[in-house]
Structure 1
Amino acid sequence: MGAKDELGRAGEQMAATYLVEKGLEILDRNWRCRDGEIDIVAREGAVLVVVEVRTRSSDARGSAFASVTEAKLARLRRLGARWRAGRFERFASVRVDVVALDGFAGTFSVRWEKGVF
Protein backbone atom coordinates (compact mmCIF):
# COMPACT_ATOMS: atom_id res chain seq x y z
CA MET A 1 0.00 0.00 0.00
CA GLY A 2 1.38 3.40 -0.96
CA ALA A 3 1.66 6.47 1.21
CA LYS A 4 -1.37 8.08 -0.47
CA ASP A 5 -3.51 4.99 0.23
CA GLU A 6 -2.35 4.89 3.84
CA LEU A 7 -3.18 8.58 4.26
CA GLY A 8 -6.63 7.98 2.79
CA ARG A 9 -7.36 5.02 5.07
CA ALA A 10 -6.15 6.94 8.11
CA GLY A 11 -8.32 9.89 7.10
CA GLU A 12 -11.38 7.70 6.70
CA GLN A 13 -10.82 6.21 10.15
CA MET A 14 -10.41 9.69 11.69
CA ALA A 15 -13.59 10.83 9.93
CA ALA A 16 -15.57 7.79 11.09
CA THR A 17 -14.44 8.29 14.68
CA TYR A 18 -15.29 12.00 14.48
CA LEU A 19 -18.78 11.32 13.10
CA VAL A 20 -19.54 8.73 15.79
CA GLU A 21 -18.41 11.22 18.44
CA LYS A 22 -20.88 13.71 16.90
CA GLY A 23 -23.73 11.21 17.25
CA LEU A 24 -23.95 9.54 13.84
CA GLU A 25 -24.28 5.79 13.45
CA ILE A 26 -21.97 4.25 10.86
CA LEU A 27 -23.91 1.81 8.67
CA ASP A 28 -21.29 0.96 6.04
CA ARG A 29 -17.76 1.85 4.99
CA ASN A 30 -16.11 1.71 1.59
CA TRP A 31 -19.30 0.49 -0.07
CA ARG A 32 -18.68 -0.23 -3.74
CA CYS A 33 -20.69 -0.93 -6.83
CA ARG A 34 -19.82 -0.72 -10.50
CA ASP A 35 -20.59 3.02 -10.54
CA GLY A 36 -18.31 4.05 -7.68
CA GLU A 37 -17.66 4.01 -3.96
CA ILE A 38 -19.09 5.65 -0.88
CA ASP A 39 -16.49 6.23 1.84
CA ILE A 40 -18.96 6.24 4.74
CA VAL A 41 -22.69 5.57 4.94
CA ALA A 42 -24.22 6.79 8.19
CA ARG A 43 -27.50 7.59 9.88
CA GLU A 44 -28.36 10.79 11.72
CA GLY A 45 -31.83 10.30 13.11
CA ALA A 46 -34.07 9.42 10.16
CA VAL A 47 -31.59 10.82 7.62
CA LEU A 48 -29.30 8.65 5.50
CA VAL A 49 -25.94 10.41 5.29
CA VAL A 50 -23.56 9.67 2.42
CA VAL A 51 -20.09 10.93 3.36
CA GLU A 52 -17.16 11.74 1.12
CA VAL A 53 -13.87 11.87 3.04
CA ARG A 54 -10.95 13.85 1.68
CA THR A 55 -7.55 13.97 3.35
CA ARG A 56 -4.60 16.16 2.47
CA SER A 57 -1.23 16.18 4.20
CA SER A 58 -0.29 19.63 2.84
CA ASP A 59 -1.91 22.58 1.15
CA ALA A 60 0.34 22.38 -1.91
CA ARG A 61 -2.67 21.39 -4.09
CA GLY A 62 -5.32 23.30 -2.16
CA SER A 63 -7.56 22.26 0.68
CA ALA A 64 -9.12 18.85 1.03
CA PHE A 65 -12.62 20.35 0.87
CA ALA A 66 -11.89 22.25 -2.33
CA SER A 67 -10.93 19.00 -4.05
CA VAL A 68 -14.54 17.73 -4.05
CA THR A 69 -16.16 18.45 -7.41
CA GLU A 70 -19.81 18.96 -8.29
CA ALA A 71 -19.62 15.82 -10.45
CA LYS A 72 -18.38 13.80 -7.46
CA LEU A 73 -21.23 15.10 -5.30
CA ALA A 74 -23.81 14.21 -7.97
CA ARG A 75 -22.33 10.70 -8.22
CA LEU A 76 -22.52 10.33 -4.44
CA ARG A 77 -26.21 11.26 -4.51
CA ARG A 78 -26.83 8.52 -7.10
CA LEU A 79 -24.73 6.02 -5.15
CA GLY A 80 -26.67 6.82 -1.98
CA ALA A 81 -29.91 5.98 -3.80
CA ARG A 82 -28.40 2.66 -4.95
CA TRP A 83 -27.21 1.82 -1.44
CA ARG A 84 -30.66 2.63 -0.03
CA ALA A 85 -32.46 0.59 -2.70
CA GLY A 86 -30.84 -2.58 -1.39
CA ARG A 87 -32.18 -2.10 2.14
CA PHE A 88 -35.55 -2.64 3.79
CA GLU A 89 -35.14 0.27 6.15
CA ARG A 90 -36.61 3.58 5.02
CA PHE A 91 -35.10 7.00 5.58
CA ALA A 92 -36.86 10.37 5.63
CA SER A 93 -34.20 11.87 3.35
CA VAL A 94 -30.70 11.45 1.96
CA ARG A 95 -27.95 13.97 2.60
CA VAL A 96 -24.45 14.20 1.12
CA ASP A 97 -21.77 15.45 3.51
CA VAL A 98 -18.05 16.05 3.17
CA VAL A 99 -15.50 15.50 5.91
CA ALA A 100 -12.26 17.20 4.92
CA LEU A 101 -9.07 16.60 6.87
CA ASP A 102 -6.13 18.91 6.27
CA GLY A 103 -2.86 17.96 7.93
CA PHE A 104 0.10 20.14 8.63
CA ALA A 105 3.07 19.04 10.73
CA GLY A 106 1.28 15.83 11.75
CA THR A 107 -1.84 17.56 13.09
CA PHE A 108 -5.14 17.37 11.20
CA SER A 109 -7.98 19.84 11.24
CA VAL A 110 -11.47 18.51 10.54
CA ARG A 111 -14.08 20.34 8.48
CA TRP A 112 -17.50 18.68 8.34
CA GLU A 113 -19.91 20.23 5.87
CA LYS A 114 -23.45 18.90 5.99
CA GLY A 115 -25.76 18.82 3.00
CA VAL A 116 -23.31 19.99 0.37
CA PHE A 117 -25.48 18.52 -2.40
Structure 2
Amino acid sequence: MAQHNELGKKGEQLAIDFLIEKGYTIVERNYRYQKAEIDIIAQKEEVLAVIEVKTRSTDYFGNPEEFVNPKKIKLLTLAMDNYVTEKDVDVEVRFDIIAITKITADFKIEHIKDAFLFF
Protein backbone atom coordinates (compact mmCIF):
# COMPACT_ATOMS: atom_id res chain seq x y z
CA MET A 1 0.00 0.00 0.00
CA ALA A 2 1.29 3.46 -0.85
CA GLN A 3 2.61 5.49 2.05
CA HIS A 4 -0.06 8.21 1.66
CA ASN A 5 -2.80 5.53 1.76
CA GLU A 6 -1.35 4.11 4.97
CA LEU A 7 -1.27 7.60 6.49
CA GLY A 8 -4.90 8.13 5.45
CA LYS A 9 -6.01 4.85 7.08
CA LYS A 10 -4.05 5.72 10.22
CA GLY A 11 -5.73 9.14 10.26
CA GLU A 12 -9.22 7.66 9.96
CA GLN A 13 -8.53 5.30 12.87
CA LEU A 14 -7.16 8.17 14.97
CA ALA A 15 -10.31 10.16 14.15
CA ILE A 16 -12.55 7.26 15.20
CA ASP A 17 -10.66 6.80 18.46
CA PHE A 18 -10.88 10.56 19.08
CA LEU A 19 -14.65 10.64 18.42
CA ILE A 20 -15.34 7.65 20.67
CA GLU A 21 -13.30 9.30 23.43
CA LYS A 22 -15.47 12.43 23.02
CA GLY A 23 -18.69 10.43 23.43
CA TYR A 24 -19.70 9.85 19.79
CA THR A 25 -21.09 6.57 18.49
CA ILE A 26 -19.71 5.51 15.11
CA VAL A 27 -22.69 4.78 12.84
CA GLU A 28 -20.96 4.23 9.49
CA ARG A 29 -17.46 4.14 8.02
CA ASN A 30 -16.66 4.82 4.37
CA TYR A 31 -20.29 5.23 3.28
CA ARG A 32 -20.40 5.43 -0.52
CA TYR A 33 -22.97 6.95 -2.82
CA GLN A 34 -22.21 7.41 -6.52
CA LYS A 35 -18.81 9.19 -6.66
CA ALA A 36 -18.91 10.32 -3.04
CA GLU A 37 -17.50 8.72 0.07
CA ILE A 38 -18.21 9.86 3.61
CA ASP A 39 -15.30 8.87 5.85
CA ILE A 40 -17.27 8.67 9.10
CA ILE A 41 -20.87 9.17 10.18
CA ALA A 42 -21.05 9.54 13.95
CA GLN A 43 -23.83 10.39 16.38
CA LYS A 44 -23.76 12.27 19.65
CA GLU A 45 -27.10 12.90 21.30
CA GLU A 46 -29.49 14.18 18.60
CA VAL A 47 -26.79 15.23 16.10
CA LEU A 48 -25.55 13.10 13.23
CA ALA A 49 -22.07 14.31 12.28
CA VAL A 50 -20.69 13.77 8.80
CA ILE A 51 -16.93 13.63 9.32
CA GLU A 52 -14.40 14.29 6.56
CA VAL A 53 -10.96 13.22 7.75
CA LYS A 54 -7.94 14.98 6.27
CA THR A 55 -4.52 13.69 7.26
CA ARG A 56 -1.24 15.23 6.19
CA SER A 57 2.36 14.35 6.94
CA THR A 58 3.22 18.06 7.19
CA ASP A 59 1.52 21.44 7.17
CA TYR A 60 4.12 22.81 4.76
CA PHE A 61 1.56 23.09 1.94
CA GLY A 62 -1.29 24.22 4.23
CA ASN A 63 -3.52 22.89 6.97
CA PRO A 64 -5.35 19.62 6.22
CA GLU A 65 -8.81 21.22 6.32
CA GLU A 66 -7.82 23.57 3.50
CA PHE A 67 -7.88 20.58 1.13
CA VAL A 68 -11.68 20.19 1.35
CA ASN A 69 -12.85 21.97 -1.78
CA PRO A 70 -16.35 22.99 -2.98
CA LYS A 71 -16.60 19.90 -5.22
CA LYS A 72 -15.92 17.62 -2.23
CA ILE A 73 -18.49 19.51 -0.15
CA LYS A 74 -21.10 19.06 -2.90
CA LEU A 75 -20.38 15.31 -3.11
CA LEU A 76 -20.57 14.88 0.68
CA THR A 77 -23.87 16.77 0.79
CA LEU A 78 -25.30 14.63 -2.01
CA ALA A 79 -24.19 11.42 -0.27
CA MET A 80 -25.63 12.51 3.06
CA ASP A 81 -28.94 13.49 1.46
CA ASN A 82 -29.14 9.95 0.10
CA TYR A 83 -28.14 8.44 3.46
CA VAL A 84 -30.85 10.39 5.34
CA THR A 85 -33.49 9.28 2.82
CA GLU A 86 -32.27 5.67 2.66
CA LYS A 87 -32.11 5.25 6.46
CA ASP A 88 -35.16 7.47 7.18
CA VAL A 89 -33.13 9.52 9.66
CA ASP A 90 -34.80 12.38 11.51
CA VAL A 91 -32.06 14.17 13.45
CA GLU A 92 -29.94 17.27 12.95
CA VAL A 93 -27.08 16.71 10.48
CA ARG A 94 -23.80 18.57 10.85
CA PHE A 95 -20.73 18.53 8.58
CA ASP A 96 -17.38 18.40 10.41
CA ILE A 97 -13.74 18.04 9.47
CA ILE A 98 -11.16 16.25 11.54
CA ALA A 99 -7.77 17.63 10.52
CA ILE A 100 -4.77 15.52 11.45
CA THR A 101 -1.17 16.56 11.00
CA LYS A 102 1.77 14.28 11.72
CA ILE A 103 4.32 16.03 13.89
CA THR A 104 7.49 13.92 14.18
CA ALA A 105 6.29 10.71 15.89
CA ASP A 106 2.99 12.18 17.12
CA PHE A 107 -0.22 13.55 15.60
CA LYS A 108 -2.08 16.83 16.10
CA ILE A 109 -5.87 16.36 15.88
CA GLU A 110 -8.29 19.23 15.38
CA HIS A 111 -12.07 18.74 15.26
CA ILE A 112 -13.78 21.51 13.28
CA LYS A 113 -17.54 21.41 13.87
CA ASP A 114 -19.92 22.88 11.28
CA ALA A 115 -16.88 23.21 9.03
CA PHE A 116 -18.77 23.93 5.83
CA LEU A 117 -20.30 27.10 7.24
CA PHE A 118 -16.92 28.71 6.61
CA PHE A 119 -16.64 27.80 2.92
TM-score by length of 1: 0.91
Identity of aligned pairs, percent?
35
Map 1:94-109 to 2 at 5 A.
94-109=93-108
- Distance in 2 separating the partners of 1:17 and 1:111: 13
Give the length in aligned residue pairs.
Answer: 116
Partner residue, 2:5? 5
Partner residue, 1:68? 68
- Within the alignment, does 1:114 sit opposite 2:113 as a pair? yes
Contact in 2 for aligned 1:55/1:64 (Cα 8 Å): yes
- Distance in 1 separating the partners of 2:98 and 2:2: 22
Partner residue, 1:19? 19
Structure 2 unaligned regions, length at least 5: none
Partner residue, 1:43? 43
Q: How big is the shift at 1:73? A: 2.1
SS in 1 for 2:66: helix
Q: Specify the code of the residue in structure 2 equivalent to 1:115.
A: D
- Distance in 2 separating the partners of 1:26 and 1:18: 11
Detail structure 1 runs of 4+ shifted over 6 Å in the superposition.
Answer: none
Q: RMSD of aligned C-alpha atoms?
A: 1.3
Contact in 2 for aligned 1:48/1:95 (Cα 8 Å): yes
- Distance in 2 separating the partners of 1:86 and 1:112: 27
Q: Deviations over 1:17-74 (max 9, x none)?
A: 1001101110010111213100001111111111000000112221112212233223
Q: Specify the code of the residue in structure 2 equivalent to 1:4.
A: H
- Distance in 2 separating the partners of 1:112 and 1:82: 24
Map 1:50-61 to 2 at 5 A.
50-61=50-61
Contact in 2 for aligned 1:47/1:91 (Cα 8 Å): no
Structure 1 unaligned regions, length at least 5: none
Contact in 2 for aligned 1:16/1:26 (Cα 8 Å): yes
